[in-house]
Amino acid sequence: MFDIGFSELLVCLVVALVVIGPERLPETVRTVGLWIGRLKRSLRETRSEIERQIGADDIRRQLHNEEIMQRIEETRLEMEKTLHQASLTASPQDQPRVYEHQELPDHAHMDEKPAVTAEAAKPAEPVAPTETSTKAPDKTP
Over the stretch 35-83, which tens digit does the pLDDT of each residue have? 999 999 999 999 988 888 877 778 888 889 999 999 999 999 999 999 8
Mean pLDDT of 14-31: 88
Task: Please determine, for residue 26, whether its predicted confidence score (pLDDT) is greater than 70.
Answer: yes
Give the distance, in angstroms, between the CA of residue 20 and the centroid of all CA atoms in the same chain.
Answer: 54
pLDDT of 96: 64
pLDDT of 131: 54
Q: What percent of the chain has pLDDT over 70?
A: 66
DSSP state of 90: S
Mean pLDDT of 13-39: 90
**What is the rounded CA–CA span in Å between residue 33 and residue 36?**
5
pLDDT of 94: 63
How many Cα atoms occupy the beta-carbon half-sphere of 42 within 13 Å?
Answer: 6
